[in-house]
Each structure stands twice: as structure tokens, then as C-alpha cells.
Amino acid sequence: MTRAITRRTALAAGAGLIAAPPIVRQANAQSQFDWKRFAGERIEVSLTANPRSTILIQNQREFEDMTGIRVGAEQIPEQQHRQKFAIEFASGRASFDVVGISLHVNKRQVGRARWCTDIKALMADASITSPDFDFADFGAGAVAYSTQSDGRMDTLPEFTDYFILYYNKELLAAKNIAPPATFDEMYESARRLNDSSRQIYGNVGRGLRNANVVLYSSFLLGTQQRDFLDEQRRLISDTPDAIWAGEFYKKLLRDCSPPGVSGFNWNECQTTFMQGRAAFWLDGVGFAAPLEDRTRSRIAGKVGYAVVPRGPANHHCAMFGTGFGIAETSRKKGAAWYYLQWASGKANQLRYLTSGAGSPARTSPYRNEEAISQSRFSREFFSTLVESARISRPGLPEIVPVTEFRDTIGAALTSTIGGADVATELKKATEAFRPVLEASERAA
Amino acid sequence: MEGTASLAGTAAAGAAPRRRRNYARHYWWFVVPCGAVVLGTIVFPWVFTLYMSVHEWRLGGGRSWVGFANYAKLVEDERFLLSILRTLYFTALSVLLPMVLGLLAALAFHRKFPLRGLARTIFILPMMATPVAVALVWTMMFHPQLGVLNWLLQQVGLPPSMWVYAPETVIPTLVLIEVWHWTPLVMLILLGGLASLPIDPYEAAKIDGATPWQAFRHITLPLLAPFLVVALIIRTIDALKAFDTIYVITQGGPGTASETINIFLYLQAFAYYNLGYASAVVVVFFTIIIALAMVLLWTRARVKDA
């Protein structure tokens, strides 16, 4: 006896066949994460031009093969990138799904305008978050940096930049000088190492307006006050501690740095230090790679690394950071979230560290003894990074008009290199910027 | 006379009164696309700029009507006022020096000498260089310790200069780049003018015993005046809008020592995202340019009449 196939049975079977692949995929997801879930989609990624973005773009194929998602990535110079994404976000039609954000500059602006989606919800969804993602691996400081004051996490930490002390081992050894442990020692050593007749200088550092504030903040962090804002978020950049930091900045750059330093940004500092013309240079960790590049640097293999010296009251190093955000307007948030997991994944973070492109936001790369032992950088470099992470604090205030702040305070600092009185200049700059900050805080 | 008038009158009366067709109402549709482009690209941006200038308008934040508060703030903004002075200083030097040097170069290249063509080509090479690339190369050359310029100065026993790395020397140094870059343009304009001058006045002057200086002062210079005014207008416009070289080399620094209006405006709009205030700067800057343009056009008209 045969049973005839009814129309209902046929429809049910057809529906079952159609539904089978997603069900199977879902079942597999429980045993093995489904990286192909968004295969066929294309996302646009907008990054700041730097060695880390280059690493991501060079290895992008790896992500595309794993997920089947096509990626259109661009990298744009820092200043222009910040403007581009802000204007695109403000237009309401951002051309990208994923964006790299400098948290020390744009965090509050992005957070207040709610331009990026809260990734906590995506992270909590096990169907789209790889079991290997391991959020606990991210450093606490980096996570705090990526979290807005209202608890939203609108970026995934990528890179944490610490200010460290680079020193020329040869110059220090010639005068039997040890790496300084305090700012006072640093100044005294820089003075001893200064020999302008040979065009050798004890120190080199950022003097150019705006760029110089991050160096100044390294000194301010060593004081009792530490920050630019008080607990009520009022500007306190003309206090005795702020003036002390300004005086130290002035004497270090005026007495022991090359002539013309008031126009130096990081690139002039790097050139001077690479040519063996300066003994100390306090700047971000990302410069280790060019300094150790034997084809470009005269001091490759002779660079010493140390944490920022201790201040009169505290011991901190300035921290800056970047993260990846997903545009709130993106229609491909799933694919974009996959990209974030890959971009800030353990493999890429290890690549950052071992190539010298920057200090990763995850902690696991620092524990990878095998990779570290094979790196071209010394153990001293890695131990400096670990120690810096321990003592780090944000180097800039979390405010919307941070660029205007840097320009205003920075111009005052540049004037002090020319001989202007520190207290007068800082007072003038503080008075000029205070109304801007107050207006910005009122709008918050 | 009477008969002629009568004939003319008869002819006019004989012709049927022709109604002229009014084509204009059909033609004006042809103007619409062009008008739409002008409205969209010139009129609308201007009206919108004026609209923004009377608002407190920050990118990523809200906007609120503030009337003329942005303009009032500009009057008290020391940084803005200084940027105007710097712009005028920079423009004056960047116009005057290329004009003088361009005139001298044009007079030199107008004379016949061996390899003149090659020399002219070499002279105009800087003009062909991309400003940003030029700026990056000059930045390296200006480095106080490692730059080639200070090395050259030391070779001839001169003390090193701080070039763009000191507030006192930054604007003259930026002018130096402008001079290097744009003197060839002035030379080309004036060379064209010299080639078009008639030779008769010079022959007459020679017969009358005029010295070369007198010939230059009383013949060349007056006849060349229209070309000088054209070069002056072009150079003034170029110098006023100079931005790329200054931004790449100094970003307005050290401190604010090279912050011209363009740099100030750029920072307000694209670094501080203060669009309302930046729009007010644009309106004021535009007014300054219009005033300057009127002076130049008046000068040109006077030269033409003379």
C-alpha cells in the first residue's frame, strides 16, 4: 500500500529543505563558531594612517577568506581622518561601517553625538561573538578608555599608547650617567649631556603648539594635581602644580634642547634623536620601530627604554588610545562586528607588539614569551611597556573641544620656550579656554 | 529734402506693420540649467554661510541663533586680529618681492644671450612643482641642525638661522618659498608684455640720446604697466589664499606666529568644528578681499586710462 504524497506534505518537505541550512548552521554555531554567517556582504572601513592600520590592511585577506565578507579599507592621515569621519557622521550618512577613533581626541565628541553603536549588546550575543574573542584579555585601562561616562562602550580598544623615555645608551655611557628615575635627575643629566658646540643635546621634545601639550601633561601627571580638570570638571591649568610642570617643561626645552625646538613636532624630534643628536626623548611607544630601523637610524641597537621618570608627588605616564567603532547608521553591523573581533583579535594584537607598531590593548601579547624572545626589540622595551601600563593615566582631558584646548595651552607653552613667563602665559591661556570649556560642558 | 522725407514716409507707410515675435519667453528656459548651477554652487553656499554665521553651530552638537554675536566676538578676538595683520604682512612681502624679482628676471630674459631658452625653462621649473611636495622638501631643508640650508650658511661663514622654527623668522621664511615658487609666473607675464612692446619709441629715444635707465623709466615701465597690474592682481589673489605651504610646514606655528586668516579659519572650522564662528570669519575675510579687489580694479582702470 502506497501513500500518496499530498500537497501539504510536499510543502512541508520543501519548507524543511529551505530551512535546513540555517538550522544546521545554527547547530554548528554551538559547536563551532560560524564565521561565514555574513558571507557575501561588503563593509567599508575607515582608518587613520599608521603602522597598525597598515598591518590590518596587509592581512585583510585573512579576514575575507575566513568570513567571506569583502572589506573596502582606506587609511587617511590622522588630522584629515578626524575631520573626515566627524563631518561624515554629522551629515548622517557615513560612508563607512567601521571607523578607527583616537579616543584621546574624539571620545567625548563621538559619545555625546552617539555616532557609534554600543558594542556591549553585540558582545553579549553569543551567536555573533566568537568564543575565542576573550574580552577579559583587554587591559582594564584600555576598556575604561573605550567606555563612555554613561556606561556605553562605543569602541573596541585597539591600541594603547604610552609615553616612555627613549635614551641614547652611547651618550649616557660616555658620561657614566644612568637612566633618570626622577624629573630632577632627568634635567640634571640632560644638562650634563648637553654639548651645543658638538650639536649634541641633552634632550629633544615637542615644542610645536598643540603637539607639545602631551609632553607637558607627562610632567603635570607627576604632580599632586595630575589632571587638567578638577572633580567638577573645571579647568585648573593655572594652579601652582600646573605652573611647576610648565616651568619644568620650559627649562628642559630651553636649557638642554636644540635651538628651534619651539617648532618641533614628533617628526623633527625623531630625526634629531635618530641622528644621535639628543640623549633623551620622551614620546609615544610607536617610535621604537623607526629608531631600531638600521636602514634609517644611526642609533639602531643603541636605544635605551625606560618608564617616564617620577614626578615630585606621583609617578604616572601619559596614556593615549584608539579604538574601533561601528557607525550607528551602518546596516551591516553584524559584518562590522566580525571585523572588529578580527582586527582587535589576539593575532593582530601580537603583530602590533612584535613589529613595534604599537602597544596592543590586549594583555596576552605581553605574556607571549616565544614571540617576545624572537622580536627585534630588547626585553627592556617590553618590560618598559608592561611597567608603563601599570602607571598610566589619560594624558589629555576627556572634553569635546580637546583640539582647541591643545592649541590654546600649547601656544602658551611654546611662548615659554621663547622666554615668556610661565605663570602669566598659563593664566592667559586658561582664561581664554575656560569659557569654551564651560560652554561645551553646558551643552553636554 | 522735402521730397526725400516724403519718399521715406511713403516707404514706411507702404510696408505692413510687422509684429516682432518675442522669442525671449522661449529662450529663458535655456538659462535655467545654468541658473540652477549658479544658485546651487554660488548663491546657496553664500546664503547658507551667512545663515551659519548668525548661529552658534558646532559639528556634532546643536545650533542656536546668536544674531551678530559671532561678529562681535571677532572684533575682540586678539588671535583673529593678529591673524589679519599676519596675512597682510605675508601678502605684502609675497607680492612685492616676486614683482620686483620677476621684473628683473623678465628684463634679463628678454635680452638675447646663448642658451636663453634653456635658462628660461630652468627658471620656471619651481612653478611646476606641487605646493605640498615643495613644502615637505623645504621643511627638511629648514631643519636647524640637520637641514642643508644651515649647512650651506656655515660653509660660507654665516651663523645658522632658525628659519621656520622661530617666531621672528617664520613669516620671512615662508615668503622665501613663495618668492621661489611664484617669481617665475610674474616673469612669464612680464616677458609676454615686453615681447609685445613696439620698438619705435626706443629708436626715437636712442636718437634723442636717452640713457638705458631713462628708456626703461619713461618707455618700458609705462608701456608695461597693464601687464604689471595683471601680475599684481594674480599675485595678490594667490598670496591671500596661501594655505597649503603654511599648513604643511608650520601649521600656524611656532605658537601662532604664522597663523594667517586661512589657517585660523581652517582651525575654527575643521579642528574645533566651530562652524558658526568660522562662517563669520569667512564673511569678514570676503569683505576684506572685495575691498582689496576694488582697489586693484580701480588701479587697473586708471592705468588703462593713462
* Mean pLDDT within B171-177: 97
DSSP conformation class of A375: S
Q: How far apart are CA A16 and CA A102, in angstroms?
A: 49
* Mean pLDDT within B72-77: 94
Q: How many structural domains compose chain A?
A: 2
Do A65 and A75 belong to one domain?
yes
The answer to whether A85 faces chain B, any CB pair under 8 Å, is no
Is residue B130 pLDDT above 70, yes or no? yes
- B-chain residues near A209 (CB < 8 A): 251-256
Q: How far apart are CA A48 and CA A385, in angstroms?
A: 23
Instruction: Search chain B and give the residue with CA nearest A408.
Output: B255
Residue pLDDT, tens place only, B183-233: 999 999 999 999 999 999 999 999 999 999 999 999 999 999 999 999 999
Bridge partners of A100, per DSSP, are: A324
Residue A415 lies in a domain: yes
Residue pLDDT, tens place only, B242-289: 999 999 999 998 999 999 999 999 999 999 999 999 999 999 999 998
**More confident call, A354 vs B1:** A354
Q: Under a CB-based contact definition with an 8 Å cutoff, are residues A146 and A103 in contact? A: yes
Break chain B into its structural domains and give their ranges: 76-305
Residue tagged 596675512 (cell numbers): B87
Q: What percent of chain A has pLDDT over 70?
A: 93
Nearest beta carbon to residue B145 from set A258, A407, A418? A258
Do A305 and A181 belong to one domain?
yes
Is residue A74 pLDDT above 70, yes or no? yes
Pairwise CB contact (< 8 Å): B60 & A400? yes
- A-chain residues near B141 (CB < 8 A): none
Instruction: Search chain B and give the residue with CA nearest A78.
Output: B271
Residue A80 lies in a domain: yes
Residue A146 lies in a domain: yes
Residue A6 lies in a domain: no
For residue B79, the model assigns a pLDDT of: 94
Q: Which three cell numbers stand for residue B143?
A: 631643519
Pairwise CB contact (< 8 Å): B165 & A272? no
pTM of this prediction? 0.84
Instruction: Search chain B and give the residue with CA nearest A92.
Output: B60
Choose one of A393, A410, A426: the last residue of a domain.
Answer: A393
Do A174 and A286 belong to one domain?
yes
B100: phi then psi, degrees, rounded to nearest 5? -65, -50
> By mean pLDDT, which of A243-257, A283-297, B96-110 is the weakest?
A283-297
Instruction: Tell me the nearest-neighbour CA distance from B254 into chain A, angstroms.
Output: 5
Do A302 and A201 belong to one domain?
yes
Residue A297 lies in a domain: yes
Q: How far apart are CA B98 and CA B236, in angstroms?
A: 11
- A-chain residues near B150 (CB < 8 A): none
- CA A208, distance to chain mean position in Å, is 20
Q: Under a CB-based contact definition with an 8 Å cutoff, are residues A148 and A107 in contact? A: yes
Do A168 and A282 belong to one domain?
yes
Residue pLDDT, tens place only, A188-221: 999 999 999 999 999 999 999 999 999 999 999 9
The answer to whether A433 faces chain B, any CB pair under 8 Å, is no
Biggest distance spanned by C-alpha atoms of chain A = 110
Q: How far apart are CA A432 and CA A72, in angstroms?
A: 43
Residue pLDDT, tens place only, B26-44: 788 888 999 999 999 999 9
**More confident call, A314 vs A355:** A314
For residue B306, the model assigns a pLDDT of: 67
Do A178 and A140 belong to one domain?
no
Instruction: Tell me the nearest-neighbour CA distance from A263 into chain B, angstroms.
Output: 4
pLDDT category of residue B58 using cuts at 50, 70 and 90:
confident
For residue A4, the model assigns a pLDDT of: 53
Q: Under a CB-based contact definition with an 8 Å cutoff, are residues B213 and B219 in contact? A: no
- A-chain residues near B252 (CB < 8 A): 209
Pairwise CB contact (< 8 Å): B255 & A264? no
Do A325 and A429 belong to one domain?
no
The answer to whether A404 faces chain B, any CB pair under 8 Å, is yes
Q: How far apart are CA B281 and CA A258, in angstroms?
A: 37
Strand ranges for A171-301 from DSSP E:
201-204, 278-284
Is residue B53 pLDDT above 90, yes or no? yes
Do A180 and A276 belong to one domain?
yes
Residue A152 lies in a domain: yes
Mutate which of A80, A89, A262 to disrupt the B interface (most B C-beta within 10 Å)? A262
Do A411 and A266 belong to one domain?
yes
> By mean pLDDT, which of A80-89, A108-117, B55-64, B124-133 is the weakest?
B55-64
Is residue A23 pLDDT above 60, yes or no? no
Choose one of A378, A393, A408: the last residue of a domain.
Answer: A393
Range of the domain at A78: 42-161+320-393
Residue A22 lies in a domain: no
Residue A351 lies in a domain: yes
Strand ranges for A20-97 from DSSP E:
42-48, 70-76
For residue A9, the model assigns a pLDDT of: 52
Instruction: Search chain B and give the residue with CA nearest A409.
Output: B255
Instruction: Tell me the nearest-neighbour CA distance from A262 into chain B, angstroms.
Output: 6
Q: How far apart are CA A260 and CA B142, in angstroms?
A: 10
Instruction: Tell me the nearest-neighbour CA distance from B260 into chain A, angstroms.
Output: 15
Q: Which three cell numbers stand for residue A284?
A: 609615544
- A-chain residues near B168 (CB < 8 A): none
Is residue B254 reached through a cis peptide bond, with omega within 30 degrees of 0 on the bond before it?
A: yes
Nearest beta carbon to residue B60 from set A86, A208, A262? A86
Do A140 and A202 belong to one domain?
no
Q: Under a CB-based contact definition with an 8 Å cutoff, are residues A193 and A284 in contact? A: no
CA dihedral B117, B123, B125, B130 (to 10 degrees): -150
Instruction: Search chain B and give the residue with CA nearest A209.
Output: B255
Nearest beta carbon to residue B272 from set A207, A275, A404? A404
Do A168 and A110 belong to one domain?
no
For residue A7, the model assigns a pLDDT of: 56
CA angle B22, B26, B27 (to 5 degrees): 100
- B-chain residues near A263 (CB < 8 A): 162, 164-166, 170, 250, 253-254
The answer to whether A10 faces chain B, any CB pair under 8 Å, is no
Pairwise CB contact (< 8 Å): A407 & B166? no
For residue A121, the model assigns a pLDDT of: 94
DSSP codes joined into one string, A386-418: HHHHHHEEESS---TTHHHHHHHHHHHHHHHHT
CATH of the domain at A256: 3.40.190.10
Instruction: Tell me the nearest-neighbour CA distance from B77 into chain A, angstroms.
Output: 10
Instruction: Tell me the nearest-neighbour CA distance from B176 into chain A, angstroms.
Output: 18
Q: SS3 for chain B, per residue? A: CHHHHHHHHHHHHHCCCCCCCCCHHHHHHHHHHHHHHHHHHHHHHHHHHHHHHCEEEECCCCEEECCCHHHHHHHHCHHHHHHHHHHHHHHHHHHHHHHHHHHHHHHHHHCCCCCHHHHHHHHHHHHHCCHHHHHHHHHHHHCCCCCHHHHHHHHCCCCCCCHHHCCCCHHHHHHHHHHHHHHHHHHHHHHHHHHCCCCHHHHHHHHCCCCHHHHHHHHHHHHHHHHHHHHHHHHHHHHHCCCHHHHHHCCCCCCCCCCCHHHHHHHHHHHCCEHHHHHHHHHHHHHHHHHHHHHHHHHHHHHHHC
> What's the fold here for domain B76-305?
MetI-like fold (1.10.3720)
For residue B61, the model assigns a pLDDT of: 74
- CA A38, distance to chain mean position in Å, is 29
Do A280 and A412 belong to one domain?
yes
| Mean pLDDT value across chain B | 90
Residues of B with CB under 8 A from a CB of A: 58-62, 143-146, 160, 162-167, 170, 250-256, 267, 270-274
Q: 10 Å Cβ neighbour count for A67?
A: 23
Q: What percent of chain A has pLDDT over 90?
A: 82
Nearest beta carbon to residue A209 from set B61, B146, B255? B255
Pairwise CB contact (< 8 Å): B272 & A401? yes
> By mean pLDDT, which of A91-95, B10-14, B233-237 is the weakest?
B10-14
CA dihedral A352, A356, A361, A363 (to 10 degrees): 90
For residue B98, the model assigns a pLDDT of: 97
For residue B1, the model assigns a pLDDT of: 39
- A-chain residues near B251 (CB < 8 A): 208-210
How many CB pairs (< 8 A) connect A and B?
Answer: 96
For residue B4, the model assigns a pLDDT of: 45
Is residue B151 pLDDT above 50, yes or no? yes
- Report the amino acid identity of residue A367: R
